[in-house]
Amino acid sequence: MTRMQDDDPHAALRLVLVVEDEPLIALDIQMMLEDHGYGVQGPAGSIEAALALLDRARPDLAVLDLNLHGKLVLPVAERLLALGVPFILASAYASAEFTGRNRIFTDVQRVDKPILERCLLEALGRASACGPPAAPRPS
Amino acid sequence: MDLDELYRLLRSSHVRAMGIVDTLRDPLVVLGPDLTVISANPAFYRAFEASADETVGQSFTTLGNGQWDIDELNQLLREVVPKSASIYDYEVTADFPHVGRKTMLITAQRVEHPDRQHRILLVSIVDATARRRKEAEKDILIGEFDHRLKNLMSVTRALARQTTVKGRSAADYRDDLIARLDALGRSLQVSANRDTTSLSELTAQLIEPYQGGSSRIEVTPGPPVPLISAQAMSLGMVLHELATNALKYGALSGAGGQVRIGWAPEEDPDGVAMVRLHWDESGGPKTAPPDSHGFGTRLITVSMEHELGGRAEFDFRPEGLRAELVFPRRD
């Protein structure tokens, strides 16, 4: 397989924020996305780094690792929600109950780790088509 | 047998029976058919910090603050005598007076008595709190292990996918991939099962595959630098990428070249304690900056910036590459 610009219909120069704490996986996600015509913002390895990137530019989409060195990625998800940016979750924790208490994640597309390229692109495509997740109703 | 003899016999078997019950480590309660406590052993009084006065003659369901007053348990206990049923390890988790939150396993059986008049229940109670806690801890450990395993699978896939295939033979690809996997393994081994490792230990492990007959990578260790496991893994991969690059294009690609590694402490402008590790190549072919979009270069940059919170500086001098890795100490 050669590294080609295999343009995804959803990609069309869209900017994707990548938040992932494991550098090798972050790089892999970045290169997968770039191979398919996406631009990558980051990758950011921490909540602080991700929020700093969002202060500078608004991405079109985002891929978030659920757990960054033991911290939930929640503050980044909330900022994306406020900006109206659709995002997907990538996590090695298979169970949905891990995030069940955070309604912000209820309707979010997920990809399991190890991440399959096809699943990542499909999830991004669906997230992009659906728009940002609905803001949770105040309880 | 006269009456005295009979009395002695009865008395000694009673004493023996009492002795056995009293010696049991697990709490034991004897209940009548109406679930009234007839007696309890010292282990019971110890476990629940209760006295005989507040126990004997009370209904089992009113003991403590009614922690045993569970409809299902009641029903089960009431069936033990008439139906000769048994209860094994019925689990009750509750807050008990004096002793706090406990998980208890209840076992109850009818005691057969020859005269068929005295039908009683023997209820033994095992404190499974510690066991349950250990089981819960084990579940957490297994979950953590599962997570790490999946993470490692992801990293392995990333290495396999991103190791260059363009214009190279399958054998070259395989050798590169195996070298990267080895570097990953060595980095993990150095950092596994320990909270911290040291920079000199990591460096020694990572350059070991490149040390042929004559040592061409020379390490002059600086002051001790402890590394946490995530630092060790990332830094290990960075050192491997530098070494493999030197072997293919740099000082180790021909005869006579050499690499010198060392490190020194420094402070950044904010007074944060940093480490500056230098990688000096000499005696190799003339160097030129590599493809900045290659996986190796990007791996070094991403690892240094995102995992180690530092940076990598490259100087492609004619006499050989000088790389400096600057990162904050985390001890």
Reported as a pLDDT band with limits 50, 70 and 90, residue A59 is: very high
pLDDT tens per residue, range A3-30: 444 455 555 668 999 999 888 889 899 9
Reported as a pLDDT band with limits 50, 70 and 90, residue A102 is: low
Give the best residue of B295, B306, B311 to mutate against chain A (max A CB count within 10 A). B306
Name the A residues in 9-38 with CB < 8 Å from any B CB. 21-28, 30-32
User: What is residue B48's predicted lDDT score, i.e. its pLDDT?
Assistant: 86
Q: Mind telling me how many Å the CA of A12 is from chain B's nearest CA?
A: 21
Using CA of residue B12, residue B18, residue B22, residue B23, what is the dihedral sign?
positive
A114 to chain B: closest CA residue: B154
* Mean pLDDT score, B272-301: 86
| Predicted interface score ipTM higher than 0.85 | no
Residue-range domain boundaries for chain A? 15-130
What CATH number is given for B163-328 in this structure? 3.30.565.10
Residues 6+ apart with CB under 8 A from A99: A66, A72, A89, A105
Q: Do A2 and B166 touch (CB under 8 A)?
A: yes
What does the alpha-carbon distance between residue B260 and residue B280 come to, in Å, rounded to a whole number?
A: 5
Does the beta carbon of A39 lie under 8 angstroms from any beta carbon of chain B?
A: no
pLDDT tens per residue, range A108-123: 788 887 788 888 999 8
Convert chain B into a string of H (helix), E (strand) and C (coil).
CCHHHHHHHHHHHHHHHHHHHHHCCCCEEEECCCCEEEEECHHHHHHHCCCCCCCCCCEHHHCCCCCCCCHHHHHHHHHHHHHCCCEEEEEEEEEECCCEEEEEEEEEEEECCCCCCCCEEEEEEEECHHHHHHHHHHHHHHHHHHHHHHHHHHHHHHHHHHCCCCCCCHHHHHHHHHHHHHHHHHHHHHHCCCCEEEHHHHHHHHHHHHCCCCCCEEEECCCCCEEEHHHHHHHHHHHHHHHHHHHHCCCCCCCCCEEEEEEEEEECCCCCEEEEEEEEEECCCCCCCCCCCCHHHHHHHHHHHHHCCCEEEEEEECCEEEEEEEEECCC
- In CATH terms, A15-130 corresponds, of 3.20.20.140, 3.90.550.10, 3.40.50.300, 3.40.50.2300, to 3.40.50.2300
Reported as a pLDDT band with limits 50, 70 and 90, residue A97 is: very low
Closest Cβ opposite residue B166 in set A3, A25, A31: A3
Write down the residue that tokens 């060790």 correspond to.
B232
What CATH number is given for B3-127 in this structure? 3.30.450.20
Closest Cβ opposite residue B299 in set A1, A3, A27: A27
Q: Which residues of B touch A97 (CB under 8 A)?
A: none
Task: Compute the 3-state secondary structure of chain A and give helix, strand, coil in percent, each to the nearest 5.
Answer: 40, 20, 40
Q: Which residues of A touch B230 (CB under 8 A)?
A: 69
Q: Do B295 and A31 touch (CB under 8 A)?
A: yes
Does the beta carbon of B168 lie under 8 angstroms from any beta carbon of chain A?
A: no
Residue-range domain boundaries for chain B? 3-127, 163-328
